[in-house]
Amino acid sequence: MPNGLLNPLKKDEKLIFFQQFLKHPLQIGSVIPSSPYLERRVLEMAEVRHCKTVVELGSGTGGTTKAILRCLPKDGTLLSIEINPRFHNIVKQIEDPRLIPHLGSAADLGSILDHYGLPNPDAIISGIPFSTMPEELGKGIIFEIARCLAHGGRFVAYQFSSKVYHLCNPVMGPCRKSMEILNIPPMRVYRWEKNGFKPTR
**163 phi/psi in degrees, rounded to 5:** -55, -40
**145-180: per-residue pLDDT in tens?**
999 999 999 999 999 899 999 999 999 999 999 999
What CATH number should be reported for the domain whose range is 9-193? Answer: 3.40.50.150
Q: Which of 55, 4, 5, 64 is nearest to 32 (CA)?
A: 64
Residue type, 72: L
Q: Which residue has the higher pLDDT, 16 or 184?
A: 184
59 contacts 168 by C-beta, under 8 angstroms: no
Sign of the Cα pseudo-torsion (49, 52, 55, 56, in order): positive
Burial class (CB in 10 A: 0-12, 13-18, 19+), 74: exposed
Q: What residues does each domain of the chain span?
A: 9-193
59 contacts 106 by C-beta, under 8 angstroms: no
60 contacts 17 by C-beta, under 8 angstroms: yes
Residue 198 has a pLDDT of: 61
For the segment 6-16, the average pLDDT, to the nearest whole number, is: 48
This prediction has a pTM of 0.84
C-alpha–C-alpha distance, residues 173 and 185, integer Å: 27
24 pLDDT higher than 50: no
Classified as helix, coil or strand, 52 is coil
